[in-house]
Every structure is written in structure tokens, then in C-alpha cells.
Amino acid sequence: MTDFRKFMTIALTIMLVQGMLALLISASANAQESLMAALDSDQDGLISLREAAGHQALFESFNSIDSNEDGYISLDELDTSEISID
Ligand SMILES: [Ca+2]
Ligand SMILES: [Ca+2]
């Protein structure tokens, strides 16, 4: 009986985790927009080098993501990049 309860607890935990993962994955469809919203502190729709300093991976590859070299990362440039929120 104890083993069965353990099993049920583990099974329920796995189901919960899977449900949360599914939520996370559906939320990440807009990951780049969320990243933009999180970093664009002056809300001009662009991430400046200074704003990018809040995200190490983005900051380190800022120049390669800023494909038109205007010193800002637009949502399009962000979309093209493989940067994600972690
Ligand atoms: Ca900005
Ligand atoms: Ca740019």
C-alpha cells in the first residue's frame, strides 16, 4: 500500500510537471516579445546596448544580432537571433 501511494505521488508529480511544461512551451511562442518587453526599459521598441546589459547572452552577442548596426536591437533582429530567456 505504501509503495502504491508512493507510485501515485510520483505519477501525480510527473503529470503536474508535464502540465507546467506545456504551459511554458505555449508561453514561449512569444519568447522574443517577452524578452523585448523585459529588457526595453524605456519602451521605445528597441533594445539599446545599455538595456541589453541586463541579459548576458544578448549583451555578449549584441553586435552580431544588431544586423543593421544602428546600435539597437529591434524585435525583428531579436526574432532572427536564437537568443532566449534564461
Ligand atoms: Ca529601449
Ligand atoms: Ca538594429
Q: What confidence score (pLDDT) does residue 28 get? A: 53
Spell out the CATH class of 2-80. mainly alpha
List pLDDT tens digits, range 57-73.
999 999 999 999 999 99
Residue 9's contacts (CB-CB under 8 Å, 6 or more residues apart) are none
Q: What confidence score (pLDDT) does residue 86 get? A: 55
Question: What residues does 73 pair with on adjacent strands?
Answer: 47
Per-residue pLDDT for 6 more than 80? yes
CA of 58 to the centre of ligand 1 (A): 14
CA of 29 to the centre of ligand 2 (A): 22
Nearest ligand by distance to the CA of 77: 2
Nearest ligand by distance to the CA of 73: 2
Nearest ligand by distance to the CA of 37: 1
CB atoms within 10 A of CB 81: 19
Nearest ligand by distance to the CA of 50: 1
Residue (of 33, 37, 38, 84) closest to 58 by Cα position: 84
Whole-model pTM: value is 0.63
List pLDDT tens digits, range 18-54.
888 877 755 555 788 889 999 999 999 999 999 999 8
- Return the residue matching grid coordinates 526595453: 40
Q: How many helices (H) and strands (E) does the chain have?
A: 6, 2
Q: What are phi and psi of 47, to 5 degrees?
A: -105, 115
For the chain, give every domain's residue range: 2-80
